[in-house]
Each structure stands twice: as structure tokens, then as C-alpha cells.
């Protein structure tokens, strides 16, 4: 299995932790759905960075492709992390990250 920065096991851990808190499931369901969808997009963007780096190894003039891929990754991650923080900080602060924490 190919390793990425956003591993499926980390996604499952976050979703499981959210499921353990006492926020009504319906309140966070749309947020979790969006985050899962965005993790798929991030995976695809990371694959694009990988492809750009492979192209660069074959052709040193392909640096523009790497720059574009990294710019897209930056924009994608900043948007995703901003949404994640906005939507999850309050429930996690209120209910804790682990069952029984608060």
C-alpha cells in the first residue's frame, strides 16, 4: 500500500474519536461527510505532486509542473484545515477528544 501524509488509518482515527464524543451524530454528520470527501481530494492532489516529482526526475525542465502541483496542494490543505478547525474545535473542546475525557 502506498504511504501518504494523510493515511486512511488517521482518517478512521479522527472519525472514530468524533463518534465517541457525545455530540448528537446528526450534528456532525455533514461535517464528517465533507471531511471524508476532502481527504479523497487531498490524496489525489498528493498523487499529482508525486507525478510532478517523477516528471522532474526525468526532465529537470519540468520544475513548473512541481510548482503548480505544490501550489495546488497548499491551497487544498489550507482550505481543508481551515474548515476542519472551524467545524471541529468547538465540539472537541466541549466534549474532549477521547471518551470520558471531559
Mean pLDDT, rounded, for 79-98: 84
Cα 89 to chain centroid distance, Å, stands at: 15
- How many domains does one find in the chain? 1
Q: Which residue has the higher pLDDT, 12 or 48?
A: 48
- Domain extent, residue 61, equals 25-88
Q: Is residue 30 part of a domain?
A: yes
Q: Is residue 62 part of a domain?
A: yes
Q: Is residue 12 part of a domain?
A: no
Q: Is residue 7 part of a domain?
A: no
pLDDT in tens, 13-65: 566 565 555 556 677 889 989 999 999 999 999 999 999 999 999 999 999 99
Q: Is residue 20 part of a domain?
A: no
Q: Which residue has the higher pLDDT, 100 or 41?
A: 41
Q: Is residue 10 part of a domain?
A: no
Query: Whole-model pTM above 0.75?
Result: no
Q: Is residue 93 part of a domain?
A: no
- 9-31 in b/e burial notation, b at 16+ Cβ within 10 A? eebeebeebbeebebeeeebeeb
Q: Is residue 46 part of a domain?
A: yes
| Residue 83 predicted with pLDDT over 80 | yes
Question: 45, 73 in Cβ contact below 8 A?
Answer: yes
Amino acid at each position: 500500500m502506498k504511504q501518504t501524509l494523510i493515511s486512511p488509518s488517521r482518517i478512521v482515527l479522527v472519525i472514530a474519536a468524533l463518534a465517541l464524543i457525545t455530540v448528537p451524530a446528526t450534528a456532525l454528520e455533514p461535517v464528517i461527510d465533507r471531511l471524508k470527501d476532502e481527504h479523497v481530494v487531498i490524496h489525489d492532489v498528493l498523487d499529482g505532486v508525486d507525478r510532478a516529482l517523477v516528471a522532474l526526475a526525468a526532465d529537470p525542465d519540468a520544475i513548473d509542473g512541481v510548482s503548480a502541483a505544490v501550489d495546488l496542494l497548499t491551497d487544498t490543505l489550507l482550505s481543508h484545515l481551515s474548515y476542519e478547525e472551524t467545524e471541529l474545535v468547538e465540539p472537541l473542546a466541549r466534549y474532549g477528544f477521547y471518551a470520558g475525557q471531559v
